[in-house]
A and B are shown apart, each in its own frame.
Chain A
Amino acid sequence: MPPLGVIILYAIIGLVSVGSAVGLLVSRNAIYSALFLVLNFLTVALLYLVLGAPFIALAQITVYAGAIMVLFLFVIMMLGAEKLTESSLRVRGLRVLAVVLGLVFAAEVALFLVVRGGIPAAPAEPALTFGDPAAVGLMLFQQYTLPFEITSVILLAAMVGAIVLTRGDLKDRLARRAALEKKA
């Protein structure tokens, strides 16, 4: 067993992580939900850091907590969606069903852990060079070159898709341009 201080530290990280996830679920205001999610991402990044993955930890902070959450906040503010009313078409018993399903799923995970009990005690102490950006970069460009190139295509497709989707159809655009010209 690790020393008591380490256990307490991990317990705090775990509690903050789970607590922020619960906060995301229960808060009425979508902005608060987004901020709770940022907190969750930060605690997860801390875990990556102690697991010997500094590159992934920083990518988590810049990509997830930075870029993706800014996108979320931007859309929430653009739509003014922070206080949208909850379901008008309430499916009866959905809440109960969800809680039951969640318990079943948690029990399944627990069962898996018990049955496949040979779960190792602790991750080995990572060597200093394990997971450092240089090693990750070398592996990325040597062993995973093709997937890496494919991700660029995925990102390009997503970018084009997002622009085309939000552009609106021709009638929309003409109407907007006419409105602009009238104003000018």
Chain B
Amino acid sequence: MPMIFYLILSGILFTLGLLGVILRRNAIILFMSLELMFNAANILFVAFAAYYQVLSGQLFVFFVMVVAAAEVAVGLALIVTIFRSRNSINVDELSSLKG
């Protein structure tokens, strides 16, 4: 399949993830949109790894996955803690640091 297919698909998925981060106020959905953006980048890594026949691209995806897993674990722990203290995970209401 032509490379342009992967480029366009990745662009669309990344834009959708970005829209999710801007539009949705539920912190969990916000995190899922982040995962969508990671995935859009990963598609390009693997596609270009196949195109240039360089294996490093695939390994980079592996490292992205590890860091994403760590990020999700800490992020969800933060969400649980925030929910315990404020009874809400609406990111609009987390404005107590605002002067």
Determine the distance from Cα of A140 to Cα of B66 in the docked complex, in whole angstroms.
Answer: 13
Kindly state whether residue A81 has any CB partner on chain B within 8 Å: yes
Q: Which residues of A contact B18 (CB under 8 A)?
A: 101-102, 105
Q: Which residues of A contact B2 (CB under 8 A)?
A: 1-2, 121-122
Q: Which residues of B contact A41 (CB under 8 A)?
A: 39
**Distance in Å: Cβ of B32 to nearest Cβ of chain A:** 5
Determine the distance from Cα of A161 to Cα of B2 in the docked complex, in whole angstroms.
Answer: 43
Tell whether, in the assembled complex, residue A102 and residue B76 are in contact, meaning their CB atoms are under 8 Å apart: no
Determine the distance from Cα of A56 to Cα of B50 in the docked complex, in whole angstroms.
Answer: 12
Q: Which residues from 129 to 146 on chain A have a C-beta closer than 8 Å to any C-beta of chain B?
A: 130-131, 135-136, 139-140, 143-144
| Tally of B interface residues using CB under 8 Å | 70
Tell whether, in the assembled complex, residue A81 and residue B28 are in contact, meaning their CB atoms are under 8 Å apart: yes
Query: What would 14 A/B residue contacts be, using CB atoms closer than 8 Å?
Result: A6-B1, A18-B9, A18-B13, A21-B17, A56-B46, A64-B35, A87-B90, A88-B93, A140-B62, A143-B56, A144-B59, A151-B66, A155-B70, A161-B73
Q: Which residues of A contact B66 (CB under 8 A)?
A: 151, 154-155
Tell whether, in the assembled complex, residue B89 and residue A59 are in contact, meaning their CB atoms are under 8 Å apart: no
Which of B28, B56, B61, B63 has the largest count of A CB atoms less than 10 A from its CB? B28
Determine the distance from Cα of A84 to Cα of B79 in the docked complex, in whole angstroms.
Answer: 14
A102-146: CB near B (< 8 Å → 1, else 0) gives 100110011001000001111110110011000110011001100
Kindly state whether residue B96 has any CB partner on chain A within 8 Å: no
- With A25-B16, A33-B29 as known contacts, state yes or no: A2 contacts B1, CB within 8 Å: yes
Q: Closest residue to A124 on the B side, CB-wise?
A: B53
Tell whether, in the assembled complex, residue A87 and residue B25 are in contact, meaning their CB atoms are under 8 Å apart: yes
Tell whether, in the assembled complex, residue A76 and residue B28 are in contact, meaning their CB atoms are under 8 Å apart: yes
Tell whether, in the assembled complex, residue A123 and residue B50 are in contact, meaning their CB atoms are under 8 Å apart: yes
Determine the distance from Cα of A51 to Cα of B51 in the docked complex, in whole angstroms.
Answer: 9
